[in-house]
Structure 1
Amino acid sequence: MARAGLDSGWKCLFANDFDYKKVNTYKKNWGNETIVQSDIKTLQCSDLKGAADLVWASFPCQDLSLAGGGAGLRGERSGTFWPFWDLMKSLVKEKRPPKIIALENVCGALTSHDGSDFSAICSALSESDYSFGALVVDAALFLPHSRPRLFIIAVHKDCEIPDNLTLSHSQKSFHTKQLIKAHDLLSEREKSNWIWWSVPLPTINVSKFIDIIEEDSKVDKWDSPEKTSELLQMMSDVNLQKVEDAKRSGIRKVGTLYKRTRKDSEGNKVQRSEVRFDDIAGCLRTPSGGSSRQSILIVEGENIRSRLISIRETARLMGLPDSYVLPENYNEGYHLTGDGVAVPVVRHLANALFEKILSFNKLNRMDAA
C-alpha cells in the first residue's frame, strides 16, 4: 500500500515481507521483480542494490499496541525493527545511505515502555547521522476510516532540507499531546537532531462510510435475523439508543459494529457489540479470533440488517482502487488491509515532504554542477 501511495513517479528497487500470502498479493499487483519473501533477519546489505531515495518500513505493531503484550521493541515481532536498522547502518557504512527513511507504526510506539522505545528509535537515527521528526496522521482526514498512525520521517545529513518544510515549534494538526510528551522525554542529543515537520492539512472532501458500501448483489452473505438480533442483545443501553435514533431518523443509516470485551457494573468481563453511525468506520484490525472483524449494520426504519464488512470495502477504507487485486480468502484479505497503511496518507506525505526534499536537492546539485 505504501507503493500504491507513492504512485508511478517512483521506481521500486526492493520490497520485502515475511508473509507469503501478502507477497503473493503484491506479485499479482506489482509483478515479481522486486519482492523478496523472507525473514528480514536473513537479508544482507548486498540484497539491497543501489542507493535509495526513500526507504519505507512498516514494522510489526503487535508488541507496541495497547492491545499487545507490552514487549515493545524487545518483542519478537516489533523487535524486527533492529535487524531492519542493521541493514540501514550497513548502507550508511557503504556510503549509500537512503536519503529519507519513513517509519510507520501505531501511536502506542510513543508510550511503549514509558517512551523508552521511541527514544531508542530516535537514538538509532541520531547515531547514523539522520535528522528526524514525527507526525501523527489519521486516515480520517482522507477517508471515512478512523486510523491514526505514527510516521517518523528521517533525512540523512547529506540531504538538505528546505526551510519551508520545518517549524520552530510543534503544530496542532499533526503533533499530538502524546507526541509532544514523547519528544520532551528525549535526550538532549536526540532533541538536537529533531525536526518539527511542517505539513499542510489535506484539502480533499472526505467521502462518507455509506459511499464505500458494495451493492447487495456483490456481497456474499447477510446475517440471519437471529444473528442480527443477537448482536443487538449484546449492546449496552447507550448503543441500543444509537440504533433507536437511527430507526427514527427516517433515512437509511449505515453504521459499523465491533465486538468488544468490557466490564459490567460488577467488574465482570462481558462481550459487547458497539455501533457507530458517524459516517466513519472504526480502525481496521487484523482478524485475530474473529472478534475484531468489523461488521456493518444497516437500519431502514424497523428493518435492521447486519453482515461482516467485505474485503473490497476494507480495501476502499484503505484507499485502494477497485482494480487492486485482493486475496479470495476472507481472512487473508482482511489481514492484508487491516495490516496496511492508508494509501492517501502515503501520497500526502510524499507530496508534502519526500518529493519536495528530493527535488530541492536535485536542483542544488544541478546548480553546483
Structure 2
Amino acid sequence: MPGFYEFFAGGGMVRAGLGAGWDCLFANDFDARKGLTYQANWGTGGELTVGDIRALSADALPGHPDLVWGSFPCQDLSLAGHGKGLAGERSGTFYAFWDLVRGLADQGRAPRLVAVENVCGALTSQGGRDFEAMARTFAEAGYRFGALVINADLFTPQSRPRLFVVGIHGDSALPEGLTSPEPLAPFHTPAVIRAVDRLPDDLRDQALWWNLPTPPHRTQVFADLIEEAPDSVAWHTPAETDRLLALMSPVNRAKVQAAQRAGRRMVGGVYRRTRTDAAGKKAQRAEVRFDDVAGCLRTPSGGSSRQTILVIDGRRIRSRLISARETARLMGLPDSYVLPRSYSDAYHLTGDGVVAPVARHLAQHLFEPLVGSAIAAQAAA
C-alpha cells in the first residue's frame, strides 16, 4: 500500500480523496480545532501532529512516503490577499514544506511524488515570479513538474478552480501515456500555458504536461444537496428575504424572475459585495447565480463572505445561510463525515479544504499509475 504525508491537512480531505488504498504515515496542521476534526474522522493513531510546520524536521517524519502533499496557505497569493506572495508569512510556508522534502532526500527517503495545491492566483502572483519560484524549487530538489488547473465543478456543483503542481522525482520512470507533448484542455488552461511559457529555458525543460482524462459528466446539481431542515442555520423570515432581494440590481432581480419561471426547484448562491455605481457611490449589493452550481466556498472572515442561498419553488422564495452539511457535500464529503459543532468552525474547515473527488481523480489517473509502475519496476529488478 503506498504511503503519504499530508501537510496543511485541515480535516483530512485529501486523505478522504486518496481513499483506503493509501496509508497516511504523517499529517500536520497548525490549527488545533481542525486537528480535532481530523482525529474525529480518522482516529487517534498518532499520525497527526498539530503545530507549526516550521518547527518540524525530517527526523520526526516516519517511514518512506511515496507521496508528500502540501496545500499551503493561499492568503498571500489570492486576489483578496495583500499581494506579498511567497514572501508572505502564511504562503511562505511553502518553503518550510520543501525544507522537509529536501531533508527526507538527504536521508535517502525522497518521495517519488510531491504535490502542492493553491489558488490560481499563484500563477500570476508577483508578475509570475512566484510560480517561477515554485517551479525552481521543484527542479532544484530533483523533480520534474507539471501544473494543472482543476475546477471542482467537474465533480461537485461548486465553482472552485485550483492550481495543482505535481512533481515526480528524476529517478522515476514515466509510464507511456501519462504525459502529453503539448498542453491539453481542460486542465491546461490559458493561464497555465502562459505561466509555463514565461519560465526560463532551464525550467521549461523540466516542465511536464500531465495527461489526465476528463471525468464523466456530472449529473448532480446544487439543488440536490440542499437540506430542508438544516440543524446549523435557520431559514430567514419573509422580511429578511425581502431585504436581501432589495439589495439586488435589476439584472440580479431578473435572474430571480427567470428562476421562478423555470418549472422546477432552483437554488441560487448569493454573495454580498460592495459595488460602485455610475455616480461613484459605494453600495452593498446582493449578487446571485442560478447555473446549478454554488459559488466558491471561502474561508469566512465575516458574514459577507458566507454564502447565502435562495431556494425558489415557483412563486415561493426562501433564503438562509448555506448549512455546514451542505458545504461539506460541496467538498465531496459523505454525510458520515464528522463536522465541528460550531457553524463558523465547520465553514472555515470546508472553505479551506481540498475537494475530495479532485484528489481521487489525481490519485486514480496520475499518482497510482506512477507509484504502481515504480513498485513493479523495483520488483522486476
CA distance in 2 between counterparts of 1:112 and 1:123 reads 15
Match of 1:260 among 270, 273, 276: 273
* Structure 1: 4+ residue segments shifted above 6 A: none
CA distance in 2 between counterparts of 1:130 and 1:240 reads 51
Aligned to 1:13: 25
Shift of 1:204: 4.9
CA contact (8 A) 1:142 1:206 kept: no
CA distance in 2 between counterparts of 1:81 and 1:266 reads 44
- Counterparts in 2 of 1:1-369, with a 5 A limit? 1-32=13-44, 33-216=46-229, 218=231, 220-368=233-381
Q: Deviations over 1:256-302 (max 9, x none)?
A: 11111222112333211111111100000011111110011012233
One-letter code aligned to 1:164:
G
CA contact (8 A) 2:233 2:320 kept: no
Shift of 1:218: 4.7
CA distance in 1 between counterparts of 2:169 and 2:19 reads 23
CA distance in 1 between counterparts of 2:313 and 2:15 reads 39
CA contact (8 A) 1:142 1:205 kept: yes
CA distance in 2 between counterparts of 1:315 and 1:110 reads 27
CA contact (8 A) 1:5 1:343 kept: yes
Q: Deviations over 1:173-217 (max 9, x none)?
A: 100111111001111111111100000000253301011111226
* Count of equivalent residues: 368
Cα distance change on mapping 1:173 and 1:250 into 2, 3 Å: closer
Shift of 1:219: 6.0
One-letter code aligned to 2:161:
P
CA distance in 2 between counterparts of 1:218 and 1:94 reads 50
Cα distance change on mapping 1:123 and 1:219 into 2, 3 Å: closer
Shift of 1:142: 0.6
CA distance in 1 between counterparts of 2:301 and 2:278 reads 27
Q: Percent identity?
A: 55
**TM-score, structure 2 normalization:** 0.94
CA contact (8 A) 2:227 2:326 kept: yes
Aligned to 2:5: none
CA contact (8 A) 1:259 1:271 kept: yes
The answer for unaligned runs of 5 or more in structure 2 is 1-12
CA contact (8 A) 1:143 1:206 kept: no
CA contact (8 A) 1:287 1:293 kept: yes
Shift of 1:358: 0.7
CA distance in 1 between counterparts of 2:347 and 2:236 reads 18
**Stretch of structure 1 that moved more, 15-24 or 255-264:** 255-264
Shift of 1:247: 2.0
CA contact (8 A) 2:232 2:324 kept: no
**Stretch of structure 1 that moved more, 199-208 or 41-50:** 199-208
